[in-house]
Amino acid sequence: MALGALTLAIAMWTVVPPPTLALLALAVIVPELAPWCAAVCVVVTLVVYALALGRARTIAVACAIVALACVLVPLVEYPSARAAARAESDAQIGEPRDAPVERAASTIDVLRDRPVVTRDGTRLGLDVYRTRGSGARPAIVTIYGGAWIFGTRAQMASIDVAYARLGYTVVGIDYRHAPAHRFPVELHDVEDALATISKHAAAWNVDPKRVALFGRSAGAELALLTGYEPGPLAIRAVVAYYAPVDLVAGYDDPPAPDPANVRRILVTYLGGTPNGLPAAYRRASPLTFVRPGLPPTFFICGRRDQLVRIAFQRTMRDALRAHGDRVVAIELPWSDHAFDAIENGLGASIATPATRAFLAATLGNPLASSR
């Protein structure tokens, strides 16, 4: 009976919002690995049926069957979500005619720890991933997440390598963290990293007229803020995974339950509440800067996200479209925050090809000549 109950206790977070950070991890992992979890539930059902007796067997089998029903939910939702993502991409960007093809890792050179000197004299670093022997290529600048409190550029290394294999020049950057460094330090660090990339564009095989910013979570907020303002590089596209876009609304209307304590995160980042620092909250919200003529934007978020509510992505999508800006906005019904950390998961199987198609459509084939 204990085995069946344990299986249910793990699987239930596929459909029940998690109240704690520890359970949030299960809510991220289990739905993304639903095919494997379903197989485990079937095995558990058979095992408890064979080993348990009487009432214990009935309860254990019932628990295992309910667990199986929970993990089947993402599998039922997957086909329609995949079709919706394809339809959204086709409607907004069309189908790239010459999408890049991934090549062997041996063709990639990595320049590690290139120095970035910020405007206050602090030294940060960045890594450049580029195709060996290439000329100027469209570039992707990646910005990691971590609630603006933790993380390093190494978190994006698998993405950096994957896109470098497609022929892009990829630059992974760092920024300083709250509470030691509050907004707008993080934004300034990103801007200073872009200035460094611009300065070394020729040496690093970067086409400064074809650049995309790719951020996750806190990094997506920084990517949107940077991409929506003039800078040293021509930002042709922004990719924003589960992006905080309206920090005032994020504080006033946090998820329920709220396993990560969103309000505490925002106060740590900005140094106070929206009532005390209204200008800072507006300045840190990409929604504030929506206007005509912005670069195309790609959004993706889970409907079950317990850090960044899906409603905020919808608001941003509608605001951009109202101003005539191109935007792809994909929703994953079963996914929670950081779903793509499960690289072989259901969410990543939709997000990865959709993101690649978006970048190919907005930056062009990285193996083609510069435009």
163 pLDDT above the threshold of 90:
yes
In a domain, 217, yes or no: yes
Tell me, what CATH number does 312's domain have? 3.40.50.1820
371 pLDDT above the threshold of 80:
no
Residue with tokens 């435009």: 371
pLDDT tens-digit map of 85-114: 999 999 998 765 456 766 655 589 999 999
SS3 for 202?
Answer: coil
Q: pTM surpassing 0.75?
A: yes
Asked if residues 138 and 201 have their Cβ atoms less than 8 Å apart, the reply is no
Residue type, 254: P
Q: Do 141 and 271 lie in a common domain?
A: yes
Which secondary structure element, helix H or strand E, spans residue 123, and what is its range?
A: strand 123-131
Distance CA 185, CA 172 (A): 18
Using pLDDT thresholds of 50, 70 and 90, give the confidence band for residue 369. very low
Q: What domain range is 267 assigned to?
A: 105-363
Instruction: Let me know if 22 is exposed, middle or buried by CB neighbors in 10 A (0-12, 13-18, 19+).
Output: exposed
Residue type, 203: A
For the ranges 97-106, 110-119, 125-134, 326-335, the lowest mean pLDDT is seen at 97-106
More confident residue, 65 or 326: 326
Asked if residues 307 and 277 have their Cβ atoms less than 8 Å apart, the reply is no
361 pLDDT above the threshold of 50:
yes
SS3 for 328?
Answer: strand
204 pLDDT above the threshold of 50:
yes
In a domain, 168, yes or no: yes
pLDDT tens-digit map of 216-265: 999 999 999 999 999 999 999 999 999 999 999 999 999 999 999 999 99
Q: Do 121 and 58 lie in a common domain?
A: no
What mean pLDDT, rounded, does the chain reach?
92
Distance CA 269, CA 64 (A): 43
SS3 for 239?
Answer: strand
Using pLDDT thresholds of 50, 70 and 90, give the confidence band for residue 160. very high
Secondary structure letter of residue 236 according to DSSP: E
In a domain, 19, yes or no: yes
CA angle 127, 145, 187 (to 5 degrees): 75
Q: Do 60 and 202 lie in a common domain?
A: no
Tell me what the mean pLDDT of segment 124-153 comes to: 94
Number of domains in the chain: 2
Q: Which residues fall within 8 angstroms of residue 133, CB to CB, at 6 or more apart? A: none
Beta bridge partners of 300: 241, 330
Q: Do 182 and 286 lie in a common domain?
A: yes
pLDDT tens-digit map of 38-89: 998 888 887 876 776 677 778 878 888 898 999 999 999 999 999 999 999 9
- The CA R_g of the chain, rounded to the nearest whole Å, is 22
Q: Do 46 and 157 lie in a common domain?
A: no
Instruction: Quote the pLDDT of residue 2.
Output: 62
Q: Taking the mean position of all CA atoms in its chain, how far away is CA 106?
A: 27
Q: Do 122 and 240 lie in a common domain?
A: yes
